[in-house]
Amino acid sequence: MVLERSYEGIPVPLSRKSRALTSRALSELQLEPGMLAQDVVDAVATVLGKPIFLEQTVDERFKKTTGSFALTPNFALIVFRGIDPQAYQMHSLFHELGHLLCRHRECSRPGTQLETEALELVLWSEAEREAEFLAFKIASLISRKSRSIQAFG
């Protein structure tokens, strides 16, 4: 099945450098099946050494983007679009966490409702590919369900 393959293999093509970076980032987290989104946020906060605040927004600016993040010396802020379906918001959240884990400075992911469409659109940037890859991996690693019936993909 296509769905299964996208989780078993690598859903986003990564360079050797990106592969090393993302696998190192994941190994810092120690994710387990059954963890909640908040557990993942806490785990990333521990790795970063600063708290992560989450904010849902229906702000005009977020009509064109699904999520974003800001890093300050004392905390990280992740903003995501409140109008998106919950599963999609979670994917956006994991995507932004992926950026934080890779120590990226910004997210330039275009806003779209369709995962498949988003996946194609983000391929142009190495940083976006890394964040998107981590979003899939995080969802996969904390899922209690069998791979073939996962919500994303």
Sequential DSSP letters for 73-124: SS-EEEEEETTS-HHHHHHHHHHHHHHHHTT-S---PPP-S-HHHHHHHGGG
Smallest distance, Zn ion to C-beta of residue 109, A: 4
- Whether the CB-CB separation of 132 and 14 falls below 8 Å is answered with no
* Nearer to Zn ion (CB atom), residue 5 or residue 63: 63
Q: Which two tokens stand for residue 47?
A: 């790795």
78 residue type, one letter: I
Q: How far is the CB of 85 from Zn ion (least distance, A)?
A: 19
Nearest residue (beta carbon) to Zn ion: 107
Residues forming contacts to Zn ion in the complex (CB under 5 A) are 107, 109, 128, 131
Shortest distance (Å) from residue 150 CB to Zn ion:
21
Q: Which is nearer to Zn ion, 40 or 107 (CB)?
A: 107
Which residues make Cβ contacts (< 8 Å) with residue 53, sequence separation at least 6?
75, 76, 77, 78
Q: Report the residue number, 81 or 109, with the smaller CB distance to Zn ion.
A: 109
Give the nearer residue to Zn ion in terms of CB position, either 31 or 107. 107
Minimum Å distance from CB 77 to Zn ion? 15
Q: Is 19 exposed, middle or buried (CB count within 10 Å of its CB: 0-12, 13-18, 19+)?
A: middle
